[in-house]
Structure formats: structure tokens, C-alpha cells
Amino acid sequence: MSARQALGKGLGALIPDKSPAEAEGKRIFFSCGIEEIQANPFQPRKFFGDESLQELVQSIREKGILQPLMVRRKGDRYELIAGERRWRAAQKAGIKEVPILVKDVSESELLELSLIENIQRENLNPIEEAEAYRGLMDQFHFTQEEISQKVGKDRATVANALRLLKLPPEIKQSLSEGKVSVGHARALLGVESPEKQRMAWRKVLADGLSVRQTENLIKRLRAKNPAGSGKSSSGWEALVEELQRSLGTRVRILGRRKRGRIEIEFYSPEELERILDFLRR
């Protein structure tokens, strides 16, 4: 079974039950100096909450590291595959040696394993998850459909996650830190102007708006745009929502009722082909 075929089944599917070393009766679990391990450059998780990390530090001080870190050899050192929170916490706890499990994986498998581990444990924030998907697309040319199969999520979920990367940096940071929810972020995508997104975002934070209130705010902002100015007229909202549900992507209707045009967004050649197939049917 190839690594790509196994991804959707989780980490276990990528790791054989018995490695050659195990088959020969050799020990593959052992300890090494914590300074011999370096971070995973493809680690999709960028934000490590201080409070939860401190709890892990305390646990390691009391009980040690119960699950070995998964690593690969990198020259005369080791590179993390999975277990970066444990590695970081062990450093803070003053641990000098940590248990490791060495596996031979390629760079593409390294990124895939890191992504799968974090997604399955639900450790990534929405922006980290979206950036991990983008990394798989940019570096290893995965399609959205392939990613959805690998991580066990439907294609629309992957596409919606990628859309979050279109938001201004400060809004993405706010989403990463949990100051706004994915629901808020998706509502903000209802207007294309970054300035209007920022204006609405600041009001969400200042007034503590719910997702529904944010959606209503976005509708009011869109309604202020004159018909034909490049935004969907509020009179088309029901039809726009129906088209978006059917096509699985963002749709805009521009112009007046007697004349206008429909714009359908796509985010990859594969998604364009999927939309075209749908329209042909």
C-alpha cells in the first residue's frame, strides 16, 4: 500500500506492524538526548497554547513521557515526525533524554504524517489546517479531492478551509487565536473588500456579535452597494444560496433582474472540471 493510499486511514496505516528491525528482534524504541532532536520544518501547527502546554509540562515532570516521539534520521541528528508538543514540553520540564521511535519516511510522507496526526487529534486551528492543505497542494500537487480522501473530510470542507486564507492577515490571526470563530470568518468572506472585512471584524470584536448577527451585518453592507457595482444584489440572495449549495462553491449574481451575469468561483483546475461536469449534466 502506498503512503498516499493509506493517509485517510490515519497514522497507523502508514506504519507497518513490524519493521525490519523488529522482525530481527532488535529494539527500535530507545532514548536519546533531547538536544539531538530538531523540529519538523513541515509542522502544520504554529500556535501552541501556553496554558495547555504548561499542563503537559507538569504531567511530564510527574510521570515522564508515556508515548515515544516519532522521528526520522536527519544526518547525525533526528527530525520530528509527530509529538512536537511533547518535545516542547519536555524541554520546558528540563528533561534531558526522551524516548523515540525511528521511522524512515520521505519529505512528502513527513508533511502528510504531520498533517494527519494533528487533524485526527483536532490540534490545528482553522488557519493552520488551511495552510497545511495549501502546503499539500503547492508542494506535492494534491488536488482538493485527493486531500479530502487522505484526511477523511469531504471536499467542501477542504474548499471552505482554503477560502479562509483569503482574509486579511489580522483577521486570520484573530481566527488562529480563537477571538473569532470559523462561522464569523465565513460570514466576513461575504464581502470581498478587505477594508469592509476589517470594518465588520472590528465591530464583531467590539460588540461581541454572534455569527448570525455578523451575517446580518454583512447583508447590510452588501445591500449598500448599488446594483451592478460588482456585488450580488440582495434581491438575489435566495437564488445565490441555492446555487452555492448545488455547486459547492461561492457564486455571485451581478446586475439587475433584466440583465446581469453569474460568477462562479473555483480554486483549482480539478474544481473547475467538477463544476463544468455538474453544469453539463
Judging by DSSP bridges, how do beta strands 251-255 and 69-74 pair with one another? unpaired
Is 84 among the catalytic positions?
yes
| Residues 6+ positions from 183 with CB-CB distance below 8 Å | 211, 214
DSSP state of 164: G
How many CB atoms are located within 10 Å of the residue 108 CB?
A: 15
**70 three-class SS:** strand
**37 three-class SS:** strand
Three-state secondary structure of 75-104: CCEEEEEECHHHHHHHHHHCCCEEEEEECC
Residue 277 C-alpha cell reads as 461536469
Would you call 130 exposed, middle or buried from its count of C-beta atoms within 10 A (0-12, 13-18, 19+)? Answer: buried
How many CB atoms are located within 10 Å of the residue 47 CB?
A: 13
Judging by DSSP bridges, how do beta strands 97-102 and 69-74 pair with one another? parallel
Q: At what angle do helices 237-247 and 269-280 cross, to 10 degrees?
A: 110
Determine which one of 36, 51, 62, 84 is catalytic: 84
Q: Are 197 and 191 in contact (CB under 8 A)?
A: yes
Q: What is the chain's alpha carbon radius of gyration, rounded to the nearest angstrom?
A: 23
* Short-list 189, 177, 164, CA closest to 252: 189
Which residues are annotated as catalytic? 84
